[in-house]
Amino acid sequence: MQPYIILSVSLLYLLILFGIAYYADRRKAQGRSLIANPYVYALSLGVYCTAWTFFGSVGRAAESGVGFLPIYLGPTLMALLWWVILRKMVRIAKQQRITSIADFVASRYGKSTRLSIAMTLITVIGIIPYIALQLKAISGTYLVLSGSNVGQTGILADTALYATFILAVFTILFGARELDATERHEGLVAAVAFESIVKLVAFLSVGIFVVWFTFDGPADLWQQAMVQPGLQSLFSFGEDTIPLSEWFWLTLISMFAILFLPRQFQVSVVENVSEKHILKALWLFPLYLFAINIFVIPIALAGLLLFPGGTVDADTFVITIPLFEGSSALALFAFIGGLSAATGMVIVAVVALSTMVSNDLVIPALVRSGRIDFASRADATGSLLLIRRVSIILILLLAYSFVRFLDQGYSLVSIGLISFVAVAQFAPAILGGLFWKGASRNGALAGLLAGFAVWLFTLVLPTLETAGLLGSSVTENGLFGIALLQPYALFGVGHLDPISHAAFWSLTLNGLLFFGISLISRPGLSELAQASLFVDALDPGRQQLRGSLRPRSASPEDIILIMQRFLGAERTARALTEYREQFGTTPDASTRIFEQDSFINYAETLLGGVIGSASASTVVSSVTREEPLSMEQIMTMLDETRQALAYSKQLEEKSAALELTTAELKEANARLLELDEMKDEFMFTVTHELKTPLTSIRAFTEILRDNPGIPAEKAGEFLDIITRETERLSRLITQILDMQLLEKGAMKADFRQTSLSEIARNAVQATGHQFAEKTQAFSHDLESCEPMPMLADADQLEQVLVNLLSNASKFSPAGGRITLHLGAEGEHYVIEVTDNGPGIPEDERELVFEKFSRARHATEASIPGTGLGLSIVKSVIALHGGTVRVEEAPGGGARFRVELPQKRNGEA
């Protein structure tokens, strides 16, 4: 195909791409973002698929069967964890205006300049081979398509060099036209999303062409391929294709690559519009990977069938098959697809790297060496842009030199994997730093450097050696001739392939140092503050406020001057307006220290987006001074602590009170249950008591009715019993009624002047027969008694005495002794009724006065009673203003002691 056709179509394609980017930027300026949807986000993540995927996967499949797949399965697996990991990274990057992965790591570990420089160097050196791969793919496929010879050419005739220059121009157009504090490039993202569509469609077109037009469908292709002896063994694991150990390590490093490759960080974190887009992308992006890989194996098999014996480089099958089949238009389309895959990667990666180089390497170096004059009022935004543009050109030239001087015919995939291992070194520092507050700067730095050193030794050194740049043969003999230090068999571990071997040693050493040193070193104050901002990013309530412990002060004019230098006058003015909207104040010289501190932090975060957090921190600290904590602030802090303590004490008290209430409620409940039981018992007793007299009354009346001829004497006897039983019944009912009245407080005593000894005498007469029946000895001292005058309801008091005496009789055994004693003690009359029965256990003494309650042994011995007698006693005595209690009598038995006031209250 004529070179001018290829060149003009390629340039046309690039111009369309730029047109899309330009349109997206204009839409953004109008506030109608083109990229604010999850589909564009997922497509832009497709920048992962580079010329490596487009051309290299087929080459890899032709060599090792399914060996190309771990590179896509790893990201699929990692995508499942995006909601946890990537969302957190996006949140942090937005909170802290982080614009590159080097800045991310440096910020996490206390805005360390050393870390930001180390990260940048590792990334740039690590990614150079990857960019080189794209240049090589573009020039290589161009040569195939144009039919030129692939031999060594002079540097001026090298297509890769021209590709490099064209890409440099476009990268500057896309990524370094102007400075932006957020480093977001909507145009770039739109262009990358478009490129993802182009390369997918191109690859699928080739795949369909090969399967259904060159061959008769997949079954035909498979059958033809399986007849070939060499192809059968392609589709299993093993030394000839891909050993399972390599499968594992490739999956692992691809999992890290999808998160930590600078271009992936750029599109997935920095350019992220909304965290919600991650939810859709976490399955859409794997689906994209699935689609772009579905035809890899068929194309590889077709290529092997069409070009047996390795006459054609398998990395170019995507173009050579359509060419061979005479479809040069499809071959051109495939070339454009590959071009889009390569340019997408180069532009995004170089933009990301140039941001890093200027923000995290050049500016910190200039700031440190004092080359940036803070006093100068000159606008520095121009020089910042210049630094960006120069670094873009330098990075691309470095990549070109790799192709020109180091590449010795490596396959695309093996070059790319070298970069993957380099980027995987970020895993401990970033993942550890995201979830573990104890991760320390020294640990991260040591791990990174050790991992990088192993990477250089095990992967880069052999490459340099193959290129003939090193004299001695380290690969064979080991470093300094030590056999244990061979790059492909470090410490004698020789059975792994070079990539797995390098990944194993670098990641192991890196992780060990990261965790080991973090465990023994104590992070500083600024590190701790940043650790909290990162680890608790999804839980803002737990983030400790930055800088609140060490307020800084500065003249606001100085800060604004610095902002103008690095952001430009217009953007500074906008930032100040935003600050006023957010905090409601404008910074001026009279602002209090705390507010000034918040303004300084605001400015520092903003500057961090343009010149990197480490540089921003250095620049800002050149005009600020840390305030020692004033007495007032200390007092405020103490006051806050005191209030917190007081509050917690209040809470404690409340909970104690609650406990008490609970205990009381429990007790009350237990008492209610007890009373309920007593009531049941009472009901049983009362019905029993009522039934006994009723039964005998009924029995005798029936006898009298049925036997009219009964002797009058006998009938009289029966009638006497009936009368007695009726009286007993009515007494019982009266008691219950009395009880109810007492209970309601409705019973009124009929107080008259009366004599207590007279009342006692009546009571003794009424109960005398009970003692006689049980042959109990009853003694009293009524004869020697004074009249004991008092105001009382004589009937009620007599009832009290009758109750007490009959109780004593009931509970004493036959032949027992009962005594009644009346006397006066001080202001009181005392009545004591003593028996020699079994007595009342101490824990029941209060209880016996309760309504329906009966001493336990009374129930057991089935002594008849309603359980109301003593309750009535208590109520009546209370009505008379006296007390009643039960004690143990001297010789065992119970003594009821009633005390009644001689004069009622209010009585003269």
Q: Which is nearer to another protein, 254 or 875 (CB)?
A: 254
Q: Which stretch binds another protein (CB under 8 A): 78-86, 150-158, 170-178, 775-783?
A: 78-86
- Using CB under 8 A, pick the residue from 169, 226, 520, 644 that binds another protein: 226
**Please, are residues 579 and 559 in contact by the beta-carbon 8 Å criterion?**
no
Helices 296-306 and 186-208: crossing angle in degrees, nearest 10, is: 50
Task: Answer yes or no whether residue 237 interacts with another protein by CB under 8 A.
Answer: yes
Angle CA 623–626–628, to nearest 5? 150
Q: CA separation (Å) from 837 to 106, 810, 814, 815?
A: 93, 9, 10, 11
Q: Could you tell me the two tokens for 473?
A: 């043969």
Residue nearer to another protein on the CB measure, 212 or 237: 237
C-alpha to C-alpha distance for 462 and 442, rounded to whole angstroms: 30
Collapsing DSSP to helix, strand or coil, 183 comes out as coil
Task: Report which of 44, 348, 15, 53 is spatially closest to residue 202, judged by C-alpha positions.
Answer: 53
Contact 65, 246 (CB under 8 A): no
**Residue 530 in contact with residue 437, Cβ under 8 Å?**
no
Residues 6 or more apart whose Cβ sits within 8 Å of residue 840: 848, 855, 886, 894
The helix/strand/coil state of 417 is helix
Binding flag, residue 672, another protein (CB under 8 A): no
User: Does the protein bind another protein through residue 215 (CB under 8 A)?
Assistant: no
- Binding of another protein at residue 482 (CB under 8 A)? no
Residue 434 sits in the site that holds another protein (CB under 8 A): no
DSSP H helices, 32-180, are 38-45, 51, 57-64, 70-79, 85-96, 101-108, 113-146, 159-175
Q: Which of 93, 117, 127, 282 binds another protein (CB under 8 A)?
A: 282
Beta bridge partners of 888: 894
76 binds another protein (CB under 8 A): yes
Kindly tell me which of 16 and 294 has the beta carbon lying closer to another protein.
Answer: 294
Q: Which is nearer to another protein, 290 or 405 (CB)?
A: 290
Q: What are phi and psi of 762, to 5 degrees?
A: -60, -40
Residue 757 binds to another protein (criterion: CB under 8 A):
no
Structure tokens at 574: 């906008």
Nearer to another protein, 64 or 391 (CB): 64
Is residue 297 near another protein by the rule CB under 8 A?
yes
**Binding residue (CB under 8 A) for another protein from 279, 305, 397, 464:** 279
Could you tell me the smallest distance in angstroms from the CB atom of residue 105 to another protein?
A: 24
- Asked if residue 280 binds another protein (CB under 8 A), the reply is yes
The residue among 67 and 262 lying less far from another protein, judged by its C-beta, is 67
CA 408, 410, 415, 418 dihedral sign is negative
Of the residues 35, 51, 79, 189, which one makes contact with another protein according to CB under 8 A:
79
Alpha-carbon distance 423 to 127, whole Å? 8
Which amino acid belongs to residue 649?
A: K
Q: Which of 45, 73, 101, 417 binds another protein (CB under 8 A)?
A: 73
Going residue by residue from 42 to 71, which x/- string records binding to another protein, judged by CB under 8 A?
-----------------------xx--x--
Residue 454 CB, shortest distance to another protein, in Å, is 23
The reply to whether 247 sits near another protein by the rule CB under 8 A is yes
Task: Give the CA diameter of the chain.
Answer: 158
Beta strand residue intervals within 438-488, DSSP E = 485-486
- Taking alpha carbons only, the member of 445, 587, 467, 448 closest to residue 527 is 445
162 binds another protein, rule: CB under 8 A: no
Q: Is 81 in the site for another protein (CB under 8 A)?
A: yes
Site size toward another protein (CB under 8 A) is 33
> Applying CB under 8 A, which part among 2-10, 226-234, 560-568, 627-635 lies near another protein?
226-234
Q: Are strands 817-825 and 777-780 parallel, antiparallel or unpaired?
A: parallel
CB of 78 to another protein, least distance (A): 8
Q: Is 80 among the residues that bind another protein (CB under 8 A)?
A: yes
Work out which of 251, 316, 359, 807 binds another protein, going by CB under 8 A: 251
Contact between 222 and another protein by CB under 8 A: the answer reads yes
CB closer to another protein out of 122 and 424: 424
Between CA 892 and CA 890 the distance in angstroms is 6
User: Of 84, 208, 644, 737, which lies in the binding site for another protein, with binding defined by CB under 8 A?
Assistant: 84
Cross-strand bridge partners of residue 824? 829
CB of 58 to another protein, least distance (A): 14
Residues 514-573 that bind another protein (CB under 8 A): none
Q: In the complex, which residues of this chain contact another protein (CB under 8 A)?
A: 65-66, 69, 73, 76-77, 79-81, 83-84, 222, 226, 232-238, 244, 247-248, 251, 279-280, 282-283, 286-287, 290, 294, 297
